[in-house]
Amino acid sequence: MSKTPVSELLDAELPRFTYGADYNPEQWDPETWLEDARLMQQAGVNLVAVNIFGWAQLEPLPGEYDFRRLDQVVEILHEHGIGINLGTGTSSPPPWLTAEHPDALPMTADGTRRAFGGRQAYCPSSPVFREHSLALVEQVAARYGRHPAVKLWHVSNELGCHNAHCYCPVSASAFRAWLEQRYGTLDALNEAWGTAFWSQRYAAWEHIQTPMLTLSTGNPAQAVDYLRFSSDEILDQYRAEAAVLRRHSAAPVTTNFMVTAHIRALDYWGWAAEMDVIANDHYLDHRLAQPTAELSFAADVTRGLAGGEPWMLMEQATSAVNWQPHNIAKTPGEMLRNTLTHVARGADGISFFQWRASVQGSERFHSAMLPHAGTDSAVWQSVVELGRTLERLREVAGTRVVADVALVFGWEPWWITDLDSHPTTELRYLEQVHRAYNALRASGVTVDIVAPGAELDGYRMVVVAALHSVTDEQAATVSDFVAAGGHAVITFFSGITDGVDRVRTGGYPGAFRELLGVLTEEFFPLHPGETVALDDGATATIWTERLHARGAEVVASYLDGPLPGTPAVTRNAFGAGAAWYLATNLDEVSLARTLARAAADAGVALDPALAGSELEVVVRQGSGRSYLFVINHGDTDALHPATGTELIEGGDIAGTLVVPAGAVRVVRLSAQAPARPTAESTPDAIRESDREEVRELR
């Protein structure tokens, strides 16, 4: 399905960024709505999401609809020139639905029902929920489908955030139907699930259940199929709602994804094609070691889902959230840096949760565009400043990020690599992907995130991290890419099993053995906290393996640990390219050094001055123009080579850009200036007079 350009959603003559928030007028009175609309104008807000949690007000009792308040809100926003991203309102059923149909409540893996009182308390397979939710969508779509203020449809909200996995009998029966569709025959299912093991062979479809809590470990193939089923089941709710909307309205349809480190239930590679606009919600997660690196990763994943086209950030926080153990407020400039990192990485729309901070309910202490303190606040000032900044950057909207390196990532591999009964619990899929990503980011390398098996033409290098289960076809995309001159870096525990997670015998890493020119007999995971030394000065943790070079050149070997003298890092010339194998978990610096070496080997342009610096540099290009984003995460001013026009503060830049501590600068590069670093444009080329200038600034 071809996408609707985000920058054209508002029918502006020229592309522009959308800017706004979730707006929950249900929580406020009509006088406040008017004040809200005026303040939205002041902040430069042009698109708000409404009716996200509106169901209980729109349908207080079954079949009794009341649209009076929403009608008013829609008109007020329209009169103030604010576009609407209209929610279908189905994200949380009203109390009557599950009070009258308790079977529609979700069931957890231990067989207990979850109660009404939070949100999303419904079983995704419930026919009762489906029927009532679609009836509501029908009403909303018929009423507002042609309203000129409706620029976009917002199906439900973060589908599957809380209720992706329901284990109830209704879900079990839907699971069986899904399995029949997938396998056709019980024999095929038994084969794929390996039910010869532990007396699990099924003789009738009705015997198959959802993978509820068992005494010992369960069947891994069943577990993964259930996760696939659950993702599909939730997507089906989206499809059903979108179909109703499309009967009544020509406006594009989307829902907000959750590309984030703590939710992995939805396989968005399978969802992306169904969206008219790709939208993501992202919150800085202070439970992670590197929250801003994860932000960049999520933005790049979202761009990958959008096929490289611009996308929309549907939710983020102006400051603190309320759902982490310690809800850290943003420091001055941090919100702008976060936002412009998303923009640098392809966002053409920026929205927050939420417009006005709630005074009741469990999200009272979540930040908003308009905080409890009102407009006399730093948060409000930053919101108004961001509105202005997005206008100044308007010409960037519609341009694309271009990358030389692809990093493979997927939700299915996340499920599979993290299954239990693996060699070590220390190996976590996302952590391995993040480590590779962070190392490349720290070296200033922009990457595209691609699905396993994706086309790799046009890249110089691909990185495959901990991709445990791969089909022959997926493996071939990497081998063919290398044979044709590309370079690959593959990390440990990749290529071990096939598409149904059956071990590939004859030596690990089965699917990539030939490409890598190595053969591993046995894994030797390390004790938690144990470190081994390598002969090139690196150290490593978590994993080693008894590996033999079979044609590959040995780059580094272990000095100690269980396998002294055994190769740990190898490089194999293969066809016209080369494939590196990282058979252990290198320390951060060595991983960055090795990936930078592989990238340089692949002909990726690297700026050595960026390595280890606090600058994040990304280029967007389009219509013959290049825009250089430089984000300074550090607390000292920094220099970066650039020639062109700076768009945030204004002014010509002749050779050297000064980026104050914590600030962001965006330069429209002069036509003759290189968009990517070259040997001449590295900071070594910065004139001494500019260095003086910065010293004075500090």
Percent of the chain that is helix, strand, coil (3-state, to 5): 35, 20, 45
Q: How far apart are CA 351 and CA 47, in angstroms?
A: 8
Determine which one of 59, 233, 315, 646 is catalytic: 315
Q: Near ligand GAL by CB under 6 A, which window of 154-162, 344-352, 587-595, 613-621?
A: 154-162
Residue 158 binds ligand GAL (CB under 6 A):
yes
Q: Which stretch binds ligand GAL (CB under 6 A): 81-89, 157-165, 489-497, 604-612?
A: 157-165
Q: Does 229 bind ligand GAL (CB under 6 A)?
A: no
**Does residue 154 interact with ligand GAL by CB under 6 A?**
no
Cβ distance to ligand GAL smaller for residue 119 or 143: 119
Give me the 107-146 binding string for ligand GAL, x by CB under 6 A, dash otherwise. ----------------------------------------
State the DSSP H helix or E strand holding residue 175, giving kind and residue range, or none if neither.
helix 169-183
Instruction: Tell me the two tokens of residue 531.
Output: 């470190």
Q: Minimum distance from CB of 156 to ligand GAL (Å)?
A: 10
300 binds ligand GAL (CB under 6 A): no
**Which of 156/446 has CB closer to ligand GAL?**
156
Q: Which pairs count as long-range contacts for 221-226, CB under 8 Å and 24+ apart, including other chains?
A: 221/192, 221/193, 221/194, 221/500, 221/501, 222/193, 223/415, 223/419, 224/412, 224/415, 224/416, 224/419, 224/501, 225/179, 225/182, 225/193, 226/165, 226/175
- Calculated CA dihedral for residues 28, 31, 37, 39, nearest 10 degrees: -90
Assess contact for 260 and 249: CB atoms under 8 A. no
| CB of residue 353 to ligand GAL, shortest distance in Å | 4
By CB under 6 A, name the one of 116, 178, 353, 429 that touches ligand GAL: 353
Three-state DSSP state, 390: helix
Whether cis (ω within 30° of 0) applies to the bond prior to 27 is no
Q: Is the backbone of residue 51 left (phi > 0), alpha (psi -120 to 50) or beta? A: left
Which two structure tokens, joined as six digits, stand for 21? 């928030």
* 158 catalytic per annotation: yes
Nearer to ligand GAL, 225 or 241 (CB): 241
352 binds ligand GAL (CB under 6 A): no
Q: Which residue, among 321, 283, 328, has the nearest Cα to 158 in the 3D structure?
A: 283
How many Å apart are CA 631 and CA 315, to the nearest integer? Answer: 21
In the Cβ-directed half-sphere of 133, how many Cα atoms lie within 13 Å? 33
Min CB(118)–ligand GAL separation in Å: 11
Sign of the CA dihedral with 476 first, then 477, 482, and 488 last: negative
- Which one of residues 293, 301, 321, 390 is an interface residue with ligand GAL (CB under 6 A)? 321
Is 431 considered catalytic here? no
- Site of tokens 């289960």: 469
Smallest gap from residue 352 Cβ to ligand GAL (A): 10
Print the binding letters for residues 242-281 with ligand GAL: x by CB under 6 A, - otherwise: ---------------------------------------x
> Of 162 and 548, which CB lies nearer to ligand GAL in the complex structure?
162
Of the ranges 106-114, 155-163, 485-493, 543-551, which one interacts with ligand GAL (CB under 6 A)?
155-163
* Span from 133-141, 153-161, 264-272, 635-643 in contact with ligand GAL (CB under 6 A): 153-161
Q: Is 695 exposed, middle or buried (0-12, 13-18, 19+ CB in 10 A)?
A: exposed
When binding is defined by CB under 6 A, the residue of 120, 157, 210, 681 that contacts ligand GAL is: 157
Report, as residue numbers or ranges, the catalytic residues: 158, 315
Residues at the contact surface with ligand GAL, assessed by CB under 6 A: 157-158, 161, 281, 283, 315, 321, 353, 363, 366
